[in-house]
Structure 1
Amino acid sequence: MKIASLAFLVALSVQAAEPVTIKLWPSGAPEKPGFKIGAEELNDKGDGIKRMSNVSDPTLTVQKPDNANGTCVIVCPGGGYNILAIEHEGTQVCDYLNKLGVTTALLKYRVPRRDPANPSVEPLQDAQRSIGILRHRAAEFGIAPDRIGILGFSAGGHLTVMATLHANERTYTQDPALDVPDATPNFSIPVYPAYLVDKDDTFKLLPEIKVTEKSPPMCLVHAHDDKGVTSASSSALLYLEYKKLNLPAELHIYAKGGHGFGMKDSGLPTAQWLVRVGEWMKAMGWVK
């Protein structure tokens, strides 16, 4: 047995540990000269949604379950690239996936938008660096480096798509100890992704949303009554691009649910979206 394989099996057998939080940029995140931001905040406006804002020191929190099966999913909360809905689109999703034996990595990416015209630049850097760190430290966390996926909501869904389709277009200086040449996730789960279409034409993908023959498997989740730049047409159009190339993909569009349902128990079928995702992951061989 190869040493790498032995290390993986040993790590896999270790019982679940306390979550480990990793700084993505030990020497400080790359920011534009003169950029300033207030102190990081976590608040609840009385609507039950926990909002994290002013993130300048992005982190990845790795949470390993007792029955870890070697698969890992990076979870990207939504929030319009202005805040992070850190609970119902973050920690609660991680808790559910852990029950399936999936190790999770909650990505606290940089918000608010640094450049309103191109808001995903810094978050994409954070996602690309996250893939690199997880692949470098796969044996330590008991995960397989070729079974690392990414899941995100709304703006985090857009980030998920960008990290999937533009994984190796770097806008920062790479560190060989933290980055990998190919940061493409092994699978992708955008949930009501935003900003894939223009507000004036929701039936045409934006030019940067380009699927290629090397794009990894994708499972899309949306509600039919979502509107505007978060319209369900986004997911339908992206699915069709996968279909054109005969790439593995699955699409779930629910009749009702609106936007931002996450882990909310609405009593609607959308509350079962993670069950469907779990079934897809099982069918694809990532969950036993």
Structure 2
Amino acid sequence: MKRLLTLSILSLGFAALAPAEDPVVIKLWPQGAAEKEGFKIEPEAYIKKDKDDGIKRLGNVSDPTITVYPVDKPNGTAVLVCPGGGYSILAIEHEGTLVCDYFRSIGVTPILLKYRVPRRDETDPSKAPLQDAQRAIGILRHRAAEFGFQPDRIGILGFSAGGHLTVMTSLHANDRTYEQDPALDVADATPNFAIPVYPAYLVGKGEQEFQLVPEIKVTDKAPPMCLIHASNDPHSAAGSALIYLEYKKQKLPAELHIYSDGGHGFGMKKTDLPVGLWYERAGEWVLSLYPAK
């Protein structure tokens, strides 16, 4: 009960943070994102369920953006936040804006990535979101000084499908499937650190549960990574554990937190379980990489 009360106070504290300045919204594709010929989508909108489960779902994103939330005393570090939602919707609040509130509270500039959903390509559902993440990193590196962080201190954090996107952006940052614009893109879009939180789609099912899917290959170019998962998550924690082991083989910096209980999709939801403080562990890890001056 005491921990639940503490979490409630912390959450209220994040919500009460007054912005240092107004958030800045930036379109990733000023001329419009490339889509397949004939592709049509309904207008962007929040999706309501018959029974309210407290999750704010944003659907039909076709004009992806980043929203930069300035902080009062920035420590020079930024993190790109990628909500989850199965590459179908974006859980924009408990895996998005509330996460940004926490990072603002510790001096890390948060940037919310509103990437394209639903899936454009069933065989490669991360293709369009990966393009959005690659472009986002490029824009942030170009405009880092404007927003008070350094271009070599930009990380990425994501949940579930957004966690998968975090891994893909970390390992395939420079595998481009779109025509680059030198004013918006950079030669190397690899984030400087990565925090996948209960990442999905990293392993197969059944006998394949303990093997990373072929596209997940850790090389010596991979950024430092902090992986967070619950052991009873239906999207197997084996994926996070296997990536951690690949990092160890490469002698790359990595941290792994697998909680005994928490399931999937906990995000910033209030809970008295230890997993409810995952964001503090993530924040400590980021500040250990880039200590406050």
Per the shorter chain, which TM-score range?
over 0.9
> Is the CA contact (8 Å cut-off) linking 1:102 and 1:287 kept in structure 2?
no
CA apart distance, 1:146:
0.3
> Is the CA contact (8 Å cut-off) linking 1:281 and 1:287 kept in structure 2?
no
Matching residue's letter, 2:211: K
Deviation readout 1:153-180 (Å, 9 max, x if unpaired): 0000000000000000000000000000
RMSD: 1.0
- Structure 2 counterpart SS, 1:212: coil
Q: Distance in 2 between matches of 1:221 and 1:24?
A: 28
Identity %, equivalent residues: 70
Q: Distance in 2 between matches of 1:261 and 1:177?
A: 38
Number of equivalent positions: 272
Q: Distance in 1 between matches of 2:37 and 2:30?
A: 18
CA apart distance, 1:284:
1.6
Of 81-90 and 191-200, deviating more is 191-200
Matching residue's letter, 1:108: K
Q: Distance in 2 between matches of 1:162 and 1:81?
A: 13
> Is the CA contact (8 Å cut-off) linking 1:23 and 1:60 kept in structure 2?
yes
1:156 to 141, 149, 162: 162
Give the corresponding residue for 2:249.
244
- 1:205 maps to 2:212: yes
- 1:111 maps to 2:146: no
- Structure 2 counterpart SS, 1:198: coil
Structure 2 alignment gaps of length 5 or more? 1-18
- 1:25 maps to 2:50: no
Q: Distance in 2 between matches of 1:85 and 1:199?
A: 25
- 1:83 maps to 2:89: yes
Alignment of 1:22-171 (within 5 A): 22-45=26-49, 46-171=52-177
Q: Distance in 2 between matches of 1:73 and 1:19?
A: 15
> Is the CA contact (8 Å cut-off) linking 2:85 and 2:91 kept in structure 1?
yes
> Is the CA contact (8 Å cut-off) linking 1:278 and 1:287 kept in structure 2?
no
Change (3 A) 1:265 1:83: same
> Is the CA contact (8 Å cut-off) linking 2:228 and 2:240 kept in structure 1?
yes
Q: Distance in 2 between matches of 1:286 and 1:263?
A: 24
1:16 to 14, 20, 33: 20
Matching residue's letter, 1:274: Y
- TM-score, normalised by the number of residues in structure 2: 0.91
Matching residue's letter, 2:240: S
Q: Distance in 1 between matches of 2:66 and 2:108?
A: 16
Matching residue's letter, 2:213: L
- TM-score, normalised by the number of residues in structure 1: 0.93
Deviation readout 1:253-288 (Å, 9 max, x if unpaired): 000000000000121111100011111112222556
CA apart distance, 1:199:
2.1
> Is the CA contact (8 Å cut-off) linking 1:84 and 1:111 kept in structure 2?
yes
Give the corresponding residue for 2:270.
265
Deviation readout 1:28-57 (Å, 9 max, x if unpaired): 001111100001011343110000000000
Matching residue's letter, 1:269: P
Give the corresponding residue for 2:228.
221
